[in-house]
Amino acid sequence: MISDSAEQSHVDTPEASDVWWKSAVVYQVYPRSFQDSNGDGIGDVRGILQRVDYLAELGVDVVWLSPIYRSPQDDNGYDISDYQDIDPTFGTLEDVDELIEALHERGIKLVMDLVVNHTSDEHPWFAESRSSVDNPKRDWYWWRPAREGMEPGTPGAEPTNWGSVFSGPAWEYDETTGEYYLHLFSRKQPDLNWENPEVRQAVYAMMRWWLDRRIDGFRMDVINLISKHVRPDGSLPDVPAEDGLYGSAFAATVNGPRLHEFLQEIHREVYEGRRDGLLLVGETPGATVEDGKLLTDPARHELDMVFTFEHVSLDHGPAGRFDVVPLDLRDLKATLGRWQTGLEQAGWNALYWNNHDQPRVVSRYGDDGAYRRESAMMLAIVLHLHRGTPYVYQGEELGMTNAYFTSLDEYRDIESLRFAASERQRGQLNDEELLSWLAAGSRDNARTPMQWDATPQAGFTTGQPWIDVNPHHDTINAAAEVADPDSVFHLYRRLIALRHEDPVVQRGDFHLLLPDDPHIYAFTRTWGDEQLLVLGNFSGTEQTVPVGPDWDQAALVIGNYPASPATGGGQIVLRAWEGLVLRRAPIR
Ligand code: ISL
Ligand code: CA
């Protein structure tokens, strides 16, 4: 029987109560795939403008825009060549001003993506830096000579054995000056040297410039990589490299020694006097709960919340993100549970299943076949009832599925294409295996065009889309979902409204139940004398859950089946992929 000892919950701290984003929901737009307005097959800012009423109807409070800055698009905009201009593919600064206005008129804030761990190699800063060893901007990036006694440009001659996230070495040899520059991502994404105060001041000036344009905050890309583990003599350490020449660079770049100092400096230099009303969320691969506490404790003036990667790495096999293995629900509950309780006293969680780097959750942790709607809704209920700020990635509110591309030439993502190229070289996987690995783990699963309707290109474009539209758009699309009151879309709308109205959802204590149950995700949220019970069935079969007599008379707050579940006798029978929330008050 479920007995929840967490009776009376903690009293609200003034700090906690007045923070707007604790009852907010954020919607992530991936501009390239959201809405095209000029028929070139690529989404753009005027396309987003066409859809602001859709976002208002969904009820979201914030829109986070993935990068739209001037960029050669080597990594779809996460390689910026001018931070203070918009790439013509996406539109103009005037279009963005209009979008900010249109969203603000609807009570929706706009958060921009801040990509300052690296720039594009076509950014003027890097053009100067690579021009000569004594250029004033040489030290704005990480330049090092070849490894002692090694022939420059040959494998293994790199200054350290760091591997790039996108396969291959993280150092690129540059003939011009006969030295290597560091790039943790693609060679067209050289890392900025945050040790250099000039670099930091240039970034702060750019951030202030955008805040002056009335944006409402930043999503900070791989922000916990900006402080490299550089030794006092300026040298950089090698990393463990189990299989081969290069090892994961994260070991020498994650949560570096000056990270907190830099984040606190950003606070002083950029936000001082205009902190209220802003949202600052950090993307922090490799961050632990302990890091999360330090990074999001309001008393430390660093970030409001962080994206942890632990719960989206549980199905990664030994060979990484493309080597997908089945999820063990107990691992998922334990991981999210640790972050819930770990940040309970101080700090705050950013809650997400999806973004532009992750496969679609209904295909990954749900059932995108017979129970696509039910599992999509169950996953939403479970996530949105956690303590934290939920993020909805475009199309998630429709239950969009993975792409299921059947040929390599359908892929566009640099990480996937470079992985395919290096695997082909290694020859471990035959083409069929390679395609199945990509189909399971590729970021392109999240990047197929938004499915607005059942017309040939899903209403996304009148032209040829830059990436194929998912064929399921004939049945899975916004028009159909908005028209059907029992749809995934309307369940998201109800969940967002619940977070706006209900203090238990906003701030209630989290208490995980049935941690060892392999099929049921169960927890309570308690606030004052009110308590919610949240149940999610992660299986396609009926599950009887012993909830105890206290819940026999409880009220159903939200569920993903039209008819209420069979309750009574201290147990609830959950149907396949059923998700629900019960309320009992006052708890005695
Ligand atoms: O998830 C990842 C590890 O496999 C990567 O896909 C991802 O690159 C990493 O999580 C960091 O992501 C962010 O920075 C990258 C960019 O490619 C991603 O789109 C962005 O979200 C470099 O800017
Ligand atoms: Ca366009």
**Cβ < 6 Å from ligand 1: which residues?**
75, 78, 115, 165, 185, 221-222, 283, 285, 321, 356-357, 415, 443
Q: Give 216 or 250, the one with higher predicted confidence.
A: 216
Catalytic site residue 12?
Answer: no
Residue in 79, 179, 191, 221 annotated catalytic? 221
Nearest atom in ligand 1 to 357's CA: 6
The residue nearest atom 19 of ligand 1, judged by CA position, is 357
Ligand closest to Cα of 188 equals 1
The CATH class that applies to domain 124-182 reads alpha beta
Q: How far is the CA of 449 from the centre of ligand 2 (A)?
A: 12
pLDDT for residue 7: 42
Is the predicted pLDDT of residue 257 greater than 90, yes or no? yes
Distance separating alpha carbons of residues 101 and 439, to the nearest angstrom: 39
β-pair type (305-307, 320-324): unpaired
pLDDT at residue 274, rounded to an integer = 83
Ligand nearest to the CA of 45: 2
pTM of the entire predicted model: 0.96
pLDDT of residue 588: 54
Q: Higher confidence at residue 308 or residue 428?
A: 308
Residue that has been written with the tokens 């908005």 in this structure: 482
Q: Give the Cα separation of 157 and 144 in Å (integer).
A: 11
Of 165, 223, 311, 323, the residue with max ligand 1 atoms within 8 A of its CB, to mutate for a pocket test, comes to 165
**Residue owning the nearest CA to atom 15 of ligand 1:** 78
Nearest atom of ligand 1 to the alpha carbon of 320: 4
The 10 Å CB-count burial string (b at 16+, else e) for 134-148 is eeebbebbbbbebbe
Residue 184 Cα: closest atom of ligand 1? 22
Q: What's the average model confidence in pLDDT over 198-219?
A: 97
Q: Exposure of 127 by Cβ count < 10 A (0-12 exposed, 13-18 middle, 19+ buried)?
A: middle
Q: Is 15 a catalytic residue?
A: no
**Cβ partners under 8 Å of residue 85, min gap 6:** 69, 70, 93
Of 95, 113, 283, 357, catalytic: 283
From the CA of 31, the nearest ligand is 2
Give the mean model confidence (pLDDT) for residues 537-561. 95
Q: Which region among 127-131, 448-452, 564-568, 575-579 has the lowest average model confidence (pLDDT)?
A: 564-568
Beta bridge partner(s), residue 522 = 513, 535
The yes/no answer on whether domain 21-119+196-491 falls in CATH 1.10.150.120 is no
Location of structure tokens 């409402």: 216
Res. 4 pLDDT band, cuts 50 70 90 = very low
Burial readout 519-552 (b: 16 or more C-beta within 10 A, e: otherwise): bbbbbbbbbbebbbbbbbbbbeeebebebeebbe
User: Domain residues of the chain, as ranges?
Assistant: 21-119+196-491, 124-182, 509-583
Residue 13 has pLDDT above 70, yes or no: no
So what CATH class is 509-583?
Answer: mainly beta
- Looking at the CA of residue 321, tell me the nearest atom of ligand 1: 4
Q: Residue 64 pairs with which residues in a beta bridge? A: 28, 111
